Amino acid sequence: MQWVTTTQVLEELKASNEAQVWRRFCDHFRPVVVNFARHLGLSATDAEDAAQETMVEFLKAFRDGKYDRQKGRLSNWLFGVARRVILNLRGHQPLERLVADKTTGTSFWDLIQDDHSIKHSWETQWRQMVLTKCLEQARRELDSKVFEAFELYALSETPVDEVAQLLKMSRNAVYIAKSRVLSRLRQLERQFE
């Protein structure tokens, strides 16, 4: 998969009506909306529907010129669209489902979340998506041994001596690998956003 920033995706959407551009946009942002919808209590099917509706509403508003980068980040604007769509879908669930879910014992009041926790949930999903995309790109760009040392030491928390022995590297090389990958991840994150 090719590295694509949010700016590139938006520029492509502005300039083209091609199905490939739409697919790239959806591939880029749909998973975060699906995860957010699931976190807010929608079923897998409803979450997919919410994501599709969010993508369509976003595209329509974007092409109508309603998104202004000077007024805020794309993630915040997409959050507003997704939140409205998801809460609307939740509002159309059968009353019996909202009053009490007999399988889990969840009541209607348990399903209501304050704006802060909803925003926090979105930001968590967004950060996870950005991190995943940055890790995928860093894996493609960097030497496989360097990235493996980073994964073992930084992500899996394998002791440095074990990583060094396993990969036949010095301890210092493991530290340098971690530093190189983290530095590249920070650069990719800035590019992405």
> pLDDT by residue (tens digit) across 97-110?
444 444 555 544 45
Q: What is d(CA 187, CA 136) in angstroms, rounded to the nearest whole number?
A: 14
- What residues contact 104, with CB distance under 8 A and at least 6 apart? none
Does residue 1 carry a pLDDT above 80? Answer: no
- Average pLDDT of the chain is 82
Amino acid 95: pLDDT: 45
Nearest to 62 by CA among 47, 45, 77: 77
> pLDDT by residue (tens digit) across 3-50?
667 777 777 777 777 778 788 888 888 899 998 888 888 888 988 999
Q: Give the mean model confidence (pLDDT) for residues 40-66.
A: 87
- The whole model's pTM is what? 0.68
> pLDDT by residue (tens digit) across 159-172?
999 999 999 999 99
- What residues contact 14, with CB distance under 8 A and at least 6 apart? 62, 63
Give the CA distances from residue 33 to residues 30, 37, 48, 124, in Å, rounded to whole numbers and listed in that order: 5, 6, 8, 11
Q: What is d(CA 181, CA 137) in angstroms, rounded to the nearest whole number?
A: 11
